[in-house]
Structure 1
Amino acid sequence: MTRASVTIGGQKVAPGSRATVLLPVPDTFLRQGSAMPVHVFHGRREGPALFVCAAIHGDELNGVEIIRRLLRLKRLNQLAGTLYAIPIVNIYGFMANTRYLPDRRDLNRFFPGKEGGSLASELASVFFENVVRKCGYGIDLHTGSNHRRNLPHIRGDMEDPAVLSMAEAFGAPLALDLSGMEGSLRAAAKDSGVRVLLFEAGEPLRFDEFSIRAGLRGITSVLESLGMLPAGKRKRRQVPLQIATDRAWCRAPASGLFRAVAKLGQHVGQGEVLGTIHDPFGGRSTDLVAPRDGVIIGDQSLASVYKGDAVMHIARFDAPRQAQASVDEYSEMVMDARMAR
């Protein structure tokens, strides 16, 4: 039996073909027309439907580059099922180099959205109704926010066996068991029966080659695990997934200029000095001390801090030294690996 076409935005995509569909979204104030491009790969063979999206926050660039490289893979000619790739969801924030929409709303608090609501609700609805509801699975690509960097890691509902399986296939060494805040894409997707994995890596407004390679590697691994792509000729090395039991931000005890001594991915013990906050005028310095054992999965990239600022993000693991070892092995593996084409 011939596989049916898929229809998105009023455009049909036949089996064995690909298309770029422009979903209309509200105009900018210049009234020149605006659209959200969606790349659709509709395989000849039956299989799952999965979306990969980036730039829900407009200043998060790594995911845009990950999807650009994904679109160039010749392996997608062998795709089973349907892949929807959306490089930029928040086109307004992307054009302005900002995380938010023009009205300062965070798009990732307004899913599934609705017509006739705020700009955030309208944009969320366009994406959710035309893409997310058509899929069984999704991968949402993010970076840190507001001058913060994230170690590559996975977030998702690890109590869901399907999400856990995707996380293990993705291959990142660390994961946070989080179901998503109300209004987030993950939470709204879960309510609609769509399993979504979130990949966090890098910082806003910057490309990071390691994070990009890790993301592309992870996406293709998930596609293989779902049977949407044939397995590569060489079996990929994987590291055991370490799932955090808890997490917390270490906050600045004083204002000043921060010099870190601890690094992303490092295991730290409770009471260990993570860095020092100096008075720029030569006065008293204050140490930033780890409030718990764990692994650093995020930090602030700016030197200037105010008292109370979230400076380092520490995740707790049952075996923190093994978590650091997995991070170290993964780092070598991603940078040394020859990317599949």
Structure 2
Amino acid sequence: MSRRAHSIEIFGEVVGPSCHKTFNIPIGQLYTHTDIAIPVQVVNGKSGGPVLLICAAIHGDELNGVEVVRRVLSAPWLKNLRGTLIAVPMVNVLGIIQRSRYLPDRRDLNRCFPGSEKGSLGGRIANLFVQEILSKSQYAIDLHTGAIHRSNMPQIRVHLENEQAAQLAQAFGVPLVIDAPIRDGSLRGAGDDLGIPIITYEAGEALRFDESAISAGVKGVRNVMTHLNMLPPRKTGKQKPPSFVAKSSSWVRAPADGLFRIKLQLGDRVSRGDVVGIIDGPLGGSEIPVLAPFAGIVIGNTNLPLVNEGEALLHIARFEDIDDVETVVDEFRQEFDGIY
């Protein structure tokens, strides 16, 4: 028997059962006296269930999540929703306008939580988001990409000591899970303080749409909603492959200055001592091999060939069952055929 649906109120707006509503949460004005607001859509099912938040662009140059949210909201399967979906495609609206990771004062919004109503610009936005959005949720998926000039293999970052969050990470359904401790000032930290499990989806590159990352993200959100019984089970005979937790991960750094020619793709397996790329000068003749310091799977890389000594080039994750991980990653890349 379905649970009784309830209304939900956000920033004074009430959304009843079997309704959806789009509204804006004002955060201030531009210098031009133009009002700025965070767009929010709430979809309330006809029967009761959990309240899930999906949000994107806490960093204003990370755009894949914006498209993930849009596609989820337009998906035909959403009509079967039980419970409530809170969708916020652009948290850092000011960063989006400037195509920047940061707020206008160069603060990182994901280091401003839980914020304060009398603090910095970032602190005020964070406080408003926590009070009006996050606190009304029971679970959350935070959508991110790699930084500018960097790409991430689709992966989930989660604090595995939080059992509920760890279950969401496995339910999302991408091959790789990184055990990421809570950082001070992060949205995950604010959720942890409120008892709200949050997972972070990382995929693709800043300021770019990546179809593989977006498609995998939409599927992952649907998987989590199914896991939470917000959607009926999918009628497929195919079993979801497992997600593997990395033992650790670290970046391979440039041993010299020059032009970097990468030899690998995201998701490739490397062995200790493999040549992962070459650094050379613009005139050639000074090739320096970049070697993998340990075995693992490439989960991130730079897309900018211009490098200085010490810069991060490739992010490699270590796994215990490397053969199994490689198999699942290859299947994933075939399903979401793109750059991976």
**Per-residue deviation, 1:148:** 0.5
2:153–2:300 CA contact under 8 A, matched in 1: yes
* 1:9-36 superposed Cα distances (whole Å, 9 cap, x missing partner): 1111111100012111121222211110
In 2, the alpha carbon distance for the partners of 1:2 and 1:297 equals 43
Match for residue 281 of structure 1? 283
Change (3 A) 1:217 1:3: closer
1:148–1:298 CA contact under 8 A, matched in 2: yes
Match for residue 129 of structure 2? 127
Q: How many residues align?
A: 336
Match for residue 102 of structure 1? 104
Match for residue 170 of structure 1? 172
2:191 partner letter: A
1:71 partner letter: L
* 1:242-283 superposed Cα distances (whole Å, 9 cap, x missing partner): 100111111001111100112211111111111001111334
Check if 1:66 corresponds to 2:65: no
> How much is the aligned-residue C-alpha RMSD, in angstroms?
1.4
2:207 partner letter: L
* 1:209-236 superposed Cα distances (whole Å, 9 cap, x missing partner): 1101000000001101100011122245
In 2, the alpha carbon distance for the partners of 1:69 and 1:321 equals 34
* 1:278-317 paired onto structure 2 within 5 Å: 278-317=280-319
2:208 partner letter: R
Can you give the 5+ residue segments of structure 1 that lack an aligned partner in the other structure?
A: 337-341
1:50 to 48, 52, 57: 52
Match for residue 150 of structure 2? 148
**Per-residue deviation, 1:335:** 4.7
Deviates more, 1:143-152 or 1:280-289: 280-289
Secondary structure of 2:29's match?
Answer: coil
Match for residue 43 of structure 2? 41
Compute the TM-score of the two structures, normalised by the length of structure 1.
0.95
Secondary structure of 1:172's match?
Answer: coil
* 1:198-213 paired onto structure 2 within 5 Å: 198-213=200-215
Match for residue 197 of structure 2? 195
* 1:4-19 paired onto structure 2 within 5 Å: 4-19=6-21
In 2, the alpha carbon distance for the partners of 1:29 and 1:319 equals 55
Misfit runs of 4+, over 6 Å: none
Secondary structure of 1:63's match?
Answer: helix
* 1:57-115 superposed Cα distances (whole Å, 9 cap, x missing partner): 00111101111111101222221111100000001111111111111111100111111
1:255–1:307 CA contact under 8 A, matched in 2: yes
Can you give the 5+ residue segments of structure 2 that lack an aligned partner in the other structure?
A: none
Compute the TM-score of the two structures, normalised by the length of structure 2.
0.96
In 1, the alpha carbon distance for the partners of 2:313 and 2:268 equals 15
* 1:169-212 superposed Cα distances (whole Å, 9 cap, x missing partner): 11100100113211111111111100001110000011111101
Change (3 A) 1:134 1:235: farther
Identity fraction in percent:
44
In 1, the alpha carbon distance for the partners of 2:6 and 2:100 equals 40
